[in-house]
Amino acid sequence: MNDTFQEIDDDNAQAPEHLKGMLTAEIDAIRDIMQIVQMFLGETMVAGVKLLQELEQKETKDE
C-alpha cells in the first residue's frame, strides 16, 4: 500500500522564490494591520477597563 504522505513529504522541497515573496508580503500586511488595530483599540480598551474598575469601586463604596 502506497503512503501518499510519504510521496508528498520531501525533506529537500523548496518553495519558489515568488511564493516566498508573496508569503512575506502577506505576513507584513497582517503585522501592519495588527499594529493599527492595537493603536486604535488597545488604548481605548485600557481606558474602558479602567473606567469600569473606577465605577465598580465607586459602587462598592456607596453600599
Kindly report, residue by residue over 12-52, the tens digit of the pLDDT: 667 788 899 999 999 999 999 999 888 888 888 888 899 99
Between residues 3 and 40, the one the model is more confident about: 40
Quote the cell numbers at residue 7.
510521496
Residue 5 has pLDDT above 80, yes or no: no
Amino acid found at 59: E
Quote the cell numbers at residue 22.
508573496
